[in-house]
Amino acid sequence: MRLAMFDALRQIGGPDAQALSAEVMQTTASPGEIALLAANLDAMAPEQYRDAALTAARVALANAALNPSQVDVGPLFQVLEKYGGANALADFQAAASKWNYYAPIALTELPNGGGVPLLAQMAQNANGTFDTSSKFALTMLAQLAPQNPDAASVLVDQLKNVQPSSRIWTDIASALGGEQTFYSNGGSLNTAVPPSNATGLKTWHMAEADQNFQSVNVSANWTPQQIQNQLNLIDQIVVANPAATQTLAPTRTALAARLNK
């Protein structure tokens, strides 16, 4: 019923519809409704309600932090991404201790590699602040590596001392082979959408803080040069940490076979 009302307000448009939509956005506790209303308001009055959307998302996220497992806040992260961009870095940094998957995912989706420095900080975890996010941050750096040299450089440096028995190597190998992660419940903003020819869909649910996301392999879109770059990156990682050779070998073999076809 409420969704139908929100859609009707969007179609009607005008100051009254905008005012009512903004009022509901500021008072609802539903992350999905906040994302939907933010998108509707942006369609009716581009840029005018950006700050209001960010405020609503921040308030809802702060309330959700009191009981993180009660509601899926994925749509709030997408509101912060789309309307906050680099200005939302502090929000993602603060949220990382409770939403240890959503925060790194959000950082990978910021334009122009804007999330790489904070991902690097999470991965380093020098003072223990990002203990629950640090391993997944490494995977997200591996995901960004094909299109971001800074992410690749940080990744190689951080992997020098990671033990070969760590589960993180399996996730990194998958990311280096083209696996990318997306929100399962991102609301209506679609800040990142898997390409239509993506393969190997996996769905993940983390009961802690009710985090839900999907991963697919996007390497079918890679050019020969991109594949070669990945092979070079894998070789750099192995030089930095020879113990990774066995774990990364299947990914390297599969990429090399595609390059040689």
Distances (CA, A) of 81 to 74, 161, 228: 11, 32, 31
Identify the CA nearest to 122 among candidates 109, 106, 149, 104. 104
Q: How far is CA 116 from the centre of its chain?
A: 12
Confidence check: pLDDT of 112 > 70: yes
Mean pLDDT of the chain: 89
Contact 178, 194 (CB under 8 A): no
Q: For residues 90-100, give the mean pLDDT.
A: 94
Greater confidence (158 vs 1) lies with 158
The CB density around residue 100, as the number of other CB atoms within 10 Å, is 22
Contact 158, 233 (CB under 8 A): no
* pLDDT above 70: percentage of residues in the chain: 94
Contact 31, 60 (CB under 8 A): yes
211-217 and 199-206 strand pairing: antiparallel
Split at pLDDT 50, 70, 90, the class of 53 is very high
pLDDT of residue 186: 54
pLDDT of residue 215: 94
Instruction: Give the helix ranges, DSSP H, for 13-49.
Output: 14-27, 31-44
Identify the CA nearest to 32 among candidates 4, 71, 67. 71
> CB burial class (10 A; 0-12, 13-18, 19+) of residue 67?
exposed
pLDDT of residue 134: 84
Contact 50, 42 (CB under 8 A): yes
Q: For residues 117-137, give the mean pLDDT.
A: 81
Note the maximum CA span of the chain. Answer: 64
Least confident of 20-29, 72-81, 87-96, 131-140: 131-140
Model pLDDT for residues 218-261, shown as the tens digit of each residue:
998 899 999 999 999 999 999 999 989 999 999 999 999 988 87
In angstroms, the CA 220 to CA 97 distance is 34
pLDDT of residue 162: 81
Model pLDDT for residues 69-83, shown as the tens digit of each residue:
889 999 999 999 999
Q: For residues 46-65, give the mean pLDDT.
A: 96
In angstroms, the CA 258 to CA 231 distance is 11
Confidence check: pLDDT of 107 > 70: yes
pLDDT of residue 185: 66
DSSP state of 99: -
Model pLDDT for residues 149-199, shown as the tens digit of each residue:
999 999 999 998 887 667 789 999 999 999 999 888 655 666 677 777 889
In angstroms, the CA 107 to CA 120 distance is 11
Q: For residues 199-226, give the mean pLDDT.
A: 91
Beta bridge partners of 214: 182, 203
